[in-house]
Amino acid sequence: MQKIKSFLLLAVELIAFSAILYYLRGALEHSHHHEINTIMPILIDIAFLAIFASFGGRLAKIVGIAPMAGKIIMGIIAGPALIGVLQPNAEGVEIARLAGVLFILFEAGLHFDMELLKKNIGIASLVAFCGVLIPLVSIALLGHYGFGLTWMPAIFLGGVFTATSVGLSVEALKRAGKLSTNMGNKIVGAAVIDDILGVLVLTVLAKMSEGHLEAMSIVWIGVAVVAFFGGAYALWSWGVADKIAKYLDKHYLDTSTGPYTRFFFGALMMAGALAAVVGLEPVLGAFGIGVVLSKVDNEIKHSAWEKIEGYMHIFVGGFLVSIGTMLPREALLAPKAWILAIILTIVGFYGKYVVKYLFKDKKEGKLVALAMSIRGEVGLVFVAVAINYHVLDSVTAAAALLAVILVTVLGAILFEKGVMKDSGKKLDAPGEAI
């Protein structure tokens, strides 16, 4: 009875805030002032993404699923698939989605242990390569021989399921207190390598879909990866973070926010932009600068991050909700899309899950495999590129998008439950949404 009451209260809150958002956006867009009709809709979308993230957390507690999954599901409800008050291509939603994953990867870098990675580089690389190759080949074969696609769309479909969502995996590890552990290091290391490989696969497929594949483009990305992460490692080895801290102590006054907090934020955005300029994903830049700054004094790191974290959760919650908004209504209404999506979800999940057999420790192997099974932002980028280049037809594209979200929700639920159980922690008891 209590669950029913909580669910009804949540439904009332959701309807009320959806109506408010719908009214406010419409009223703002009809204003003649530029700041009001252009900037305020962006800010209001970011604010409501955070509110819907709270609703998603509440939903997760009521039905007993992982909070990440609850927020993604809330994005499906608020997005074009159902209510339609949040649009995936709205500027505010896109800003929150990018900022959220940048903050997540930056935090992962700050807690990343480079010494542990040196010990784990072999298994992390093996997991990443297998986790990319198996889904790419298996789903490409399924698409060609099972779904009747030509080879280009079939390979593109396989590419959708190659990369792991580092952000979602890191969030679950953080909640369980496992981010800085040996297992957490293996997962983050494998997921980052996985993402780099995913970007390379996407670049190759995008060039092929345009009708030409320039070898120098692929070589340039390879050089950029080596140079970028080689530079990050060099800066980490030289202890540049501590030198910057001493410079800030000498030349800048300590205020309520502190020079470190502002520097961390500026460094994060500059590193993300630099990665994008050289042809990499901004999230890799965020992770790289996080690793560089991880060597700063722990007291400084803790103090600066504590100030950033309160604002970070607004964007992290928005990022999770925004993933759900990318599911179109057509995917929910087309029976063929559902059938294809369910098949792709099963094959896509097990395509990553088989990496558990690479580990001697079965429990650790299972948790790493579940973490790698979580897709997310990179898979969605693959689908967007496929649609942009007209590689996939509307039904197959809808099925691929639906499958990415389904396997993300499934992976998030199973991994968070597994890692929380391993840590001995429990999910919070149900509470109110706001």
Q: Which pLDDT tens digit goes with each residue over 374-405?
A: 876 667 667 766 766 678 887 888 888 788 88
- Angle at CA 207, nearest 5°, toward 89 and 150? 90
Q: Which residue has the higher pLDDT, 405 or 339?
A: 339
Domain edges within the chain: 2-78, 91-423
pLDDT for res 77:
92
- What length is written for the chain? 434
Average confidence score pLDDT of the chain: 81
Enter the tokens of residue 389. 């280049």
Give the tens place of pLDDT for each residue, 239-260.
Answer: 888 888 888 888 886 665 578 8
pLDDT for res 44:
92
pLDDT over 50 (residue 21):
yes
pLDDT over 80 (residue 6):
yes
Neighbours of 207 (CB within 10 A): 15
pLDDT for res 199:
66
Q: Are residues 52 and 70 in contact, defined by beta-carbon separation less than 8 angstroms?
A: no
- Tell me the pLDDT band of 429, cut-offs 50, 70 and 90: very low
Buried b (16+ CB within 10 A) or exposed e, 26-44: eebeeeeeeeeeeebbbeb
* Axis crossing angle, helix 182-209 with helix 377-388, rounded to the nearest 10: 0
Neighbours of 196 (CB within 10 A): 21
Enter the tokens of residue 195. 């993402």
Percent of the residues in the chain that have a pLDDT greater than 90, as a whole number = 11
Enter the tokens of residue 28. 């703002």
Q: Highest mean pLDDT: which of 30-34, 63-67, 86-90, 189-193? A: 86-90
Q: Are residues 59 and 284 in contact, defined by beta-carbon separation less than 8 angstroms?
A: no
Rounded to whole angstroms, how far apart are CA atoms 154 and 141?
A: 7
Give the tens place of pLDDT for each residue, 78-123.
Answer: 999 899 899 888 889 989 888 887 887 787 777 776 776 677 788 8
pLDDT for res 300:
76
Q: Does domain 91-423 have CATH number 1.20.1530.20?
A: yes
pLDDT over 80 (residue 203):
no
pLDDT for res 430:
39
- Angle at CA 139, nearest 5°, toward 101 and 416? 40
Number of Cα atoms under 13 Å in the Cβ half of residue 322: 29
pLDDT for res 140:
92
pLDDT for res 431:
39
Which residue type, as a one-letter code, is found at position 58?
R
pLDDT for res 415:
84
